[in-house]
């Protein structure tokens, strides 16, 4: 597909931008099975393969389970590997997700967030990637097309960092970000090449002079040690994500941290929210700020590993917080973001009041008025010091 | 694998041929016994043994590597019907 630029800016959908990032990364192997709403990523990338625009070996497979299996095999062989999926596709990869992270393979997966069945639904929520939150993958959530594009390059560096060596999932919102055209700027191929560098795998299954075994059985005398190593690695990833986000900013002028704070420093109340819905919430913040209300937003960008300390720090001066989850963890106690944030705050001297609000499941619109409603509730909580309803569904 | 502080990451085994060090013979309940007089050295047992525990020298089947033979009995079954040179016997305690 021809991409035309005006004054360094292009208008691209999230999917096209991700496919273009993959073209610029030029991975050795891509194994994928298209699924709504991430279909165009695989479709357009396979076009680049067919046109000879990349050197990638593109493996067509019969399912997402096979897609991830092929990614694992190729990564164990020492290749730089990428794939993309959504919803049921990610669910079908489940077994293999854990194998990829346990084998410490730096595979990059773009997950275009979509609700899980049942009832069947093709629209955005985070039930797919949040279900995989304990699979050992690093998870980055992108607010915009630009951020999804930028995250992909950073993901390569994070995954392949020798202190990390773990797979990374880059998430963007289905349809809202994947299909909407946004103005954004692209990097030059040469800039991308310099930023991501060459991948030199620690081991390769194809190196017959130095034969290795991947996926061997471990018994009670070693399994826990391997899990401990993995746990240490994902904890270390947090600083690596920061470093790489800074380096990205130094080179290209768009710096990324573990989280984005919007009007948070002097805020009395805050919404904590992931991905594109933060954009809608920002409009509500601007409106309320004009009326003198001290409201703000914390948007974690990194969800796995969860930046517990930094989140607690960011919410230090806030009186009341609502965590808005576009997913229910079906624990009977709010969404996953709520639970992580609430747990992060436990050590704080002065804990803000906190509430869980579940919104936008299956693509239900989340509007500025919904965010305003939550802020108004929070302002009341800040005033009275009482949380009337701890967990509830909104946008109903 | 003994040095737990220096385990290779991801559970990778970083050298080849380590199966040799894993003595699967300890699992054996039945032991294969060869009748050399009947054996025609067709080497079907050598092909079929899942543990490479059939010892062959100069093209002749000469016995079993009992460190690795796990006593599955496949060799005894696969030895041609007209020959049946391998019998499985209970291991002593
Ligand atoms: S009993 Fe099984 S393991 Fe032992 S030599 Fe025969 S085929 Fe091989
Ligand atoms: S299969 Fe039977 S006849 Fe053939 S080599 Fe083995 S023991 Fe001998």
In-domain check, residue B1 = no
**pLDDT surpassing 90 at residue A237:** yes
Q: What is the pLDDT of residues B25-58, one digit of tens each?
A: 998 999 999 999 999 999 999 999 999 999 999 9
Measured between alpha carbons, how far apart are the two ends of chain A, in Å?
40
Residue pLDDT, tens place only, A24-69: 999 999 999 999 999 999 999 999 999 999 999 999 999 999 999 9
| pLDDT over 90, % of chain A | 98
For range A190-199, the mean pLDDT: 98
Does the pLDDT of residue A218 top 80, yes or no? yes
Residue A8 pLDDT level (bands cut at 50, 70, 90): confident
CB contact under 8 A, A103 and B10: yes
From B1, B15, B17, residue closest to A222, measured CB to CB: B1
Q: CB of A201 within 8 A of CB of A159?
A: no
Torsion-angle region of residue B32: left (phi > 0), alpha (psi -120 to 50) or beta?
Answer: beta
Q: Cα distance from B8 to chain A (closest Cα, Å)? A: 9
What's the number of domains chain B is made of? 1
Instruction: Give the torsion through C-alpha atoms of A217, A223, A225, A230, to 10 deg.
Output: 80
For residue B13, tell me if it sits in a domain: no
Say yes or no: domain A259-393 is CATH 3.40.50.920.
yes
The class (CATH top level) of A8-252 is alpha beta
pLDDT tens readout for residues B66-81 = 999 999 999 999 999 9
Q: What is the mean pLDDT of chain B?
A: 93
Can you give A235-277 as a three-state secondary structure string?
HHHHHHHHHHHHHHHHHHCCCCCCEEEECCCCCCEEEEECCCH
pTM of the predicted model as reported, rounded to 2 decimal places:
0.92
Q: How far is B54 from chain A (nearest CA, A)?
A: 24
Question: Residue range A84-90: average pLDDT?
Answer: 98
ipTM of the complex: 0.83
A237 inside 8 A of chain B by CB: no
Mean pLDDT in residue range A187-206: 96
Specify the residue with its C-alpha closest to ligand 2, atom 3: B39
Residue B75 within any structural domain of the chain: yes
Residue B29 lies in a domain: yes
Establish if B10 belongs to a structural domain. no
Determine contact: B4 vs chain A, CB below 8 A.
Answer: yes
**Within a domain: B54:** yes
- Residue B63 is part of a domain; what is its CATH number? 3.30.70.20
Q: Which domain holds residue B74?
A: 23-90
How far away is chain B from the Cα of A371, in angstroms, using its nearest Cα?
A: 44
- Evaluate whether residue B2 is within a structural domain: no
Residue ranges of chain A assigned to CATH 3.40.50.970: 8-252
Mean pLDDT of A359-377: 98
Q: Which residue has the tokens 């569904």?
A: A393
* Range 5-64 of B in CB contact (< 8 A) with A: 7, 9-18
Closest atom of ligand 1 to B71 CA is 1
With pLDDT > 70 as the criterion, what percentage of chain A qualifies? Answer: 100
Whether residue B8 is contained in a domain is answered as no
Residue bearing the bigger pLDDT, B13 or B4: B13
Probe target for ligand 1 pocket from B52, B64, B68, B87, with the most ligand atoms within 8 Å of CB: B64
Q: What is the mean pLDDT of residues A246-252?
A: 98
Residue A5: its pLDDT value, please? 83
Range(s) within chain A of domains with CATH label 3.40.50.920: 259-393
Question: A232 exposed, middle or buried (CB, 10 Å; 0-12, 13-18, 19+)?
Answer: exposed
What pLDDT does A332 receive?
96
- Taking the Cβ of residue A165 and every Cβ of chain B, the question of whether any pair is shorter than 8 Å is answered with yes
Q: Which of B33, B47, B61 to mutate to test the pocket of ligand 2 (most atoms within 8 A of CB)?
A: B61
- Residue A1's pLDDT is what? 59
Residue B5: band (very low, low, confident or very high) from pLDDT cuts 50, 70, 90:
confident
pLDDT for B2 equals: 55
Residue ranges of alpha helices (H) inside chain A are 14-25, 39-50, 64-76, 87-92, 94-102, 127-131, 145-160, 189-196, 223-252, 277-290, 308-314, 336-344, 368-384
Looking at the partner chain, which of B1, B4, B12 has a beta carbon nearest the beta carbon of A212? B12
**Per-residue pLDDT tens for A264-288?**
999 999 999 999 999 999 999 999 9
């Amino acid at each position: 597909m021809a991409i035309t630029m005006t004054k360094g800016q292009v208008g691209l959908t999230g999917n096209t931008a991700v496919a273009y990032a993959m073209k610029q990364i030029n991975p050795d192997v891509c194994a994928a099975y298209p699924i709504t709403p991430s279909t165009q990523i695989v479709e357009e990338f396979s076009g680049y393969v067919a046109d000879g625009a990349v050197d990638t070996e593109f493996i067509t497979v019969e399912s997402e389970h096979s897609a991830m299996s092929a990614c694992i095999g190729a990564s164990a062989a020492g290749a730089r590997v990428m794939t993309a999926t959504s919803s049921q596709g990610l669910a079908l990869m489940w077994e293999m997700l854990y194998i990829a992270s346990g084998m410490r393979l730096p595979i990059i997966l773009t997950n275009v967030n979509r609700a899980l069945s049942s009832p069947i639904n093709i629209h955005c929520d985070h039930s797919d990637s949040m279900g995989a939150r304990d699979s050992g993958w690093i998870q980055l959530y992108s607010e915009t097309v630009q951020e999804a594009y930028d995250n992909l390059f950073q993901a390569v560096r994070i995954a392949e960092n020798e202190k990390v060596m773990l797979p990374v999932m880059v998430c963007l919102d289905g349809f809202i970000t994947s299909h909407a055209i946004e103005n954004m700027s692209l990097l030059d191929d040469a800039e991308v090449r310099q930023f991501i560098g060459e991948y030199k795998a620690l081991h390769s299954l194809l190196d017959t002079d130095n034969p290795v075994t991947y996926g061997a059985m471990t018994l009670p005398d070693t399994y826990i040690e391997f899990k401990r190593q993995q746990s240490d690695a994902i904890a270390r990833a947090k600083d690596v994500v920061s470093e790489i986000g800074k380096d990205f900013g130094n080179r290209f002028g768009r710096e990324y941290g573990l989280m984005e704070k919007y009007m948070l420093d002097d805020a009395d109340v805050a919404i904590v929210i992931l991905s594109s819905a933060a954009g809608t919430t920002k409009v509500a913040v601007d409106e309320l700020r004009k009326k003198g209300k001290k409201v703000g937003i914390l948007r974690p960008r990194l969800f796995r590993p969860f930046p517990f300390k930094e989140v607690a720090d960011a919410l230090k001066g806030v009186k009341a917080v609502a965590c808005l989850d576009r997913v229910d963890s079906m624990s009977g106690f709010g969404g996953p973001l709520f639970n992580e944030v609430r747990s992060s705050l436990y050590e704080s001297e002065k804990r803000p009041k906190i509430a869980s609000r579940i919104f936008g499941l299956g693509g239900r619109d989340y509007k500025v008025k919904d965010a305003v409603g939550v802020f108004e509730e929070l302002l009341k909580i800040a005033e009275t010091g009482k949380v009337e309803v701890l967990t509830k569904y909104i946008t109903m | 694998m003994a040095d737990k502080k220096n385990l290779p990451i991801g559970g990778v085994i970083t050298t080849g041929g380590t199966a040799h060090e894993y003595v699967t013979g300890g699992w054996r309940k039945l032991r294969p016994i060869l009748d050399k007089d009947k054996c025609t050295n067709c080497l079907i047992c050598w092909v079929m043994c899942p543990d490479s525990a059939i010892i062959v020298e100069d093209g002749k089947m000469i016995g079993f590597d009992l460190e690795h033979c796990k006593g599955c009995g496949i060799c005894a079954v696969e030895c041609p019907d007209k020959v049946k040179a391998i019998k499985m016997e209970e291991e002593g305690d």
